Amino acid sequence: MAIAVITGAASGIGAAVREQFVAAGMEVIGIDLKRADVRADLSTAAGLRSALDDVLQRTGGTIDRLICCAGLGPQAEPPGRTAAVNYFGAVALLDGLFDALKRGTNPAAVVVASSSAVLQSWADNPLRDAYLGGDEARVQALVATLPAEQAGYVAYASSKYAVSVAVRQRAAAWGNARVRLNVVAPGAVQTPLLEAGLSDPRYSEAIRNFVAPLGRRAEAHEIATLIGFVASEQAAFVHGSVLFIDGGLDASARPFDF
């Protein structure tokens, strides 16, 4: 029986992936703050260590699928915590479970990012180098200098951009180890995380206006279906890619950049 580890498994996209994997006959180990097999706060070093130790003990050090869905939105406080979970937590889990994936059968990992990550350029932003240099203290300090009405959005978008870059940076090494690694980048998805953002007056208008050309938000099961395909043997040659599932948002915003 294939073993899948899913972060953020208690709700939203992670819960939808868990449901699909269980239906497919996989053994699923969910990680979340609550209502999960492994309960851990992925924004802290202690929480990450605990999660990794627990997963490796439960799996005997062999994993077939890793799906990183855990994430915080722009409304989370403090904003630096969003960067901690969305980037540093995801990267720590990828690297910490890489050896376990190498021992798996047709192993694959998928990281959930966001189409909003590419709506601004990060090339000359000091956050880019801070993330990719692994300097969490610097990221936290830079985010803390931003106005309150901007900090959460910047922390969210920059962390999703950086984690997408981190995946692509690992494509060569992971491919050589025969472990596939990809990013799925959704647009607006009808989840508890989005509802929390809609209730925050700082970001509610921007979230309401983040409408895809298809004229609706995605449902969590739609994102889970793509994740399931990308992680499956049917996608055996899909590796190092960022796959947008955003109803046309990226295409309409940047038609000449892809």
- The b/e string for 2-19 (b: 16+ C-beta within 10 A; e otherwise) is bbbbbbbbbbbbbbbbbe
Nearest to 223 by CA among 36, 24, 18: 18
Whether 156 sits among the annotated catalytic residues: the reply is yes
SS3 category, 235: helix
Q: Which of 87, 131, 156, 161 is catalytic?
A: 156
Give backbone dihedrals phi and psi of 246, rounded to 5 degrees, phi first.
Answer: -135, 15
What region, left, alpha or beta, does residue 114 occupy, with left being phi > 0 and alpha being psi -120 to 50 degrees?
A: beta
Structure tokens at 219: 């449902």
Parallel, antiparallel or unpaired: strands 189-190 and 218-219: parallel
Tell me the DSSP string of 107-137.
-EEEEE--GGGGSS--TT-HHHHHHHTT-HH
* Axis crossing angle, helix 12-23 with helix 220-231, rounded to the nearest 10: 50
Are the C-beta atoms of 92 and 47 separated by less than 8 Å? no
Active site residue ranges: 156
